[in-house]
Amino acid sequence: MGELSEAIGIPGSAVSQQLAILRGRGIVDAARSGTTVRYSVPDPDVYALLDAGRRIFYARLSESVDLLRMVQSEEAALDGGPEAAPVR
């Protein structure tokens, strides 16, 4: 749990609870080797679902960034001053 918890910056107890839920739903499998537990995703469709979610999220985020840039540009034009720090 330690490596995963460190990698994603979430306390081990929270990671453990989430993995238990995923195991219970058959979304991940767990294989124990001594004190190490390795998790895997048995259904490749899960990756396709996550990829689709990522594309949707980034598309919405991109739309928000574009809107913010437009608002900043309009505010700068109204103020007659330099634009605010650009959104990257």
Residue-wise pLDDT for 15-72, tens only, equals 999 999 999 999 999 999 999 999 999 999 999 999 999 999 999 999 999 999 999 9
- CATH 1.10.10.10 in the chain, residue ranges: 2-40
d(CA 18, CA 1): 11
Is 2-40 CATH 1.10.10.10?
A: yes
Global confidence as pTM: 0.61
